[in-house]
Amino acid sequence: MPRRISTARGREFGEGMRAAIANAGMNARELADVLGWDEAKVSDVLTGKGGVTILEVALVLGVCRVEAKERDRLLELFPGRDLSGWWQPHGKCAPVRPRTVLTQLTAAETLISWHTHAVPVLLRTADYMRALLTASATVSVDELEERLRVLQEMQKLLSNNLDCTFYIHELALDLRVGGPDEHLSQLQRLMFMANWTKIRILVVPVAAGAHAGIAGPFTQLKFPKYESLVWVETENSSLFVETKEAVGGYEDVVCALDKVSLDEGESMDLIARRCVRLQEAGGADGAVKQDSGEPFPPS
């Protein structure tokens, strides 16, 4: 079946409208009866098809008694629902609950993620994430626990038949986030997750030198019915790349990373050796010792 023309904005708009109707305790047929519309008209509003006006959308939101903040968000989304590509400035820092990311992750069937300097968010332990949030210059301490709860919500999507490939640079494994115990637990978490049927973790070794992914982290999401997109996150904004040419460029990066990365077995062996070294490490600071016959980081 050919993929339908759809955008991240359009899918988020539709998800929000469906939630508004459900929260009002109605289904599409019942809403149509209240408005005196055909049920097909309600479907057109939900999908944002041509011929639907913003006044009709506002009417639906009013009947459903949607709160002002959510009403305004959906009315703002409506005019641009067909626009490809979406840059979201967040102000000082990323939102506690990244609505668009969660919406797209829920709909995706395949995830391909690349990270240069840290463990990808979907593979992080709570302690690892807590240490990163604590070190942040923009995230409020008051939000920390709520952000950790959202992390758990995102990670639950991994068990939703999502096929995942994570590319991680070797240097990200050596960055100690938290104390020695947290570092070890995070590496063990990676080994545990790699045993999942639909999760592959591939390490790009230091020996690869300059590589195609050096520009920075990104995540590609593929959908069963829609064209794929790429999600890029910065300190205070999110970018959802959807044009075919731009997504194709990221796919070229993934192909190049695949050529220089270790395979699954080699990647797990590398991580396992680090775990052993951390367990055997001496000294009050828990630093990994260097063996005289092998350089550090271990290869």
Q: Which of 49, 80, 111 is the last residue of a domain?
A: 80
Query: Domain check: are 67 and 130 in the same one?
Result: no
Specify if 296 maps to a domain. no
Domain CATH code at residue 106: 3.30.870
Query: Domain check: are 145 and 50 in the same one?
Result: no
Query: What's the pLDDT at 159?
Result: 86
Specify if 40 maps to a domain. yes
pLDDT at 227 over 70: yes
Q: Give the pLDDT mean for 258-282.
A: 93
Specify if 1 maps to a domain. no
Query: Domain check: are 58 and 151 in the same one?
Result: no
Q: Where do the H-state alpha helices sit in the chain?
A: 8-23, 28-35, 39-47, 54-63, 68-77, 99-107, 126-135, 144-156, 170-174, 180-193, 244-260, 264-280
Query: What's the pLDDT at 47?
Result: 77
Specify if 196 maps to a domain. yes
The residue that leads in pLDDT, 225 or 61, is 61
Residue 241 pairs in a beta bridge with 230
Q: Which of 80, 103, 138 is the last residue of a domain?
A: 80
Q: What is the CA radius of gyration of the chain?
A: 22
Query: Domain check: are 111 and 233 in the same one?
Result: yes
pLDDT at 40 over 60: yes
Contact 113, 120 (CB under 8 A): yes
- The mean predicted confidence, pLDDT, of the chain is 90
Specify if 289 maps to a domain. no
Query: What's the pLDDT at 291?
Result: 37
Query: Domain check: are 118 and 254 in the same one?
Result: yes
Q: CA-to-CA distance for 21 and 131, rounded, in angstroms?
A: 40
Contact 162, 109 (CB under 8 A): yes
Contact 151, 165 (CB under 8 A): no
Specify if 209 maps to a domain. yes
Contacts 24+ apart (CB under 8 A), 21-27: 21/46, 21/60, 21/64, 23/64, 23/66, 24/63, 24/64, 24/65, 26/64
pLDDT at 51 over 90: no
Specify if 294 maps to a domain. no
Query: What's the pLDDT at 199?
Result: 96
In degrees, to the nearest 5, what angle opens at C-alpha 83 toward C-alphas 79 and 88?
A: 90
Q: CA-to-CA distance for 121 and 180, rounded, in angstroms?
A: 20
Sign of the alpha-carbon torsion through 23, 29, 32, 34: negative
Number of domains in the chain: 2
Query: What's the pLDDT at 292?
Result: 34
User: How far, in Å, are 33, 101, 142, 176, 215 from residue 219 at the CA level?
Assistant: 43, 10, 28, 23, 13
Contact 74, 17 (CB under 8 A): yes
Query: Domain check: are 47 and 147 in the same one?
Result: no
Q: Give the pLDDT mean for 274-284.
A: 77
Q: Are strands 110-115 and 163-169 parallel, antiparallel or unpaired?
A: parallel
Query: Domain check: are 35 and 128 in the same one?
Result: no
H and E: helices and strands count for the chain:
12, 7
Q: Give the pLDDT mean for 222-232.
A: 95
Q: Which of 23, 51, 80 is the last residue of a domain?
A: 80
Query: Domain check: are 75 and 94 in the same one?
Result: no
Query: Domain check: are 61 and 94 in the same one?
Result: no
Per-residue confidence band for 122, with pLDDT thresholds at 50, 70 and 90: very high
Give the structural domain span for 35: 8-80
Q: CA-to-CA distance for 203 and 260, rounded, in angstroms?
A: 9
pLDDT at 60 over 50: yes
pLDDT at 78 over 80: yes
Q: Give the pLDDT mean for 254-272.
A: 97
The one-letter amino acid at 162: L
Q: Which two tokens stand for residue 298?
A: 């271990």
Q: Give the pLDDT mean for 262-291.
A: 76
3-state helix, strand, coil in the chain (%, to 5): 50, 15, 35
Query: Domain check: are 132 and 264 in the same one?
Result: yes
Q: Give the pLDDT mean for 50-63.
A: 90
Q: Give the pLDDT mean for 243-259.
A: 97
Query: Domain check: are 47 and 97 in the same one?
Result: no
* Total-model pTM: 0.86
Query: Domain check: are 258 and 129 in the same one?
Result: yes
For the ranges 36-50, 98-112, 184-198, the lowest mean pLDDT is seen at: 36-50
Query: What's the pLDDT at 4?
Result: 54
Per-residue confidence band for 46, with pLDDT thresholds at 50, 70 and 90: confident
Domain CATH code at residue 69: 1.10.260.40
Q: CA-to-CA distance for 232 and 116, rounded, in angstroms?
A: 13
Query: What's the pLDDT at 1?
Result: 43
Query: What's the pLDDT at 6?
Result: 85
The residue that leads in pLDDT, 56 or 298, is 56
Q: Give the pLDDT mean for 59-83.
A: 95
Q: Omega before 2 cis (within 30°)?
A: no
Contact 190, 201 (CB under 8 A): yes
Specify if 293 maps to a domain. no
Contact 105, 111 (CB under 8 A): yes
DSSP character at residue 158? G
Per-residue confidence band for 9, with pLDDT thresholds at 50, 70 and 90: very high
pLDDT tens by residue, 139-155 = 999 999 999 999 999 99
Query: What's the pLDDT at 2?
Result: 46
| Helix, strand or coil, per DSSP, at residue 244 | helix
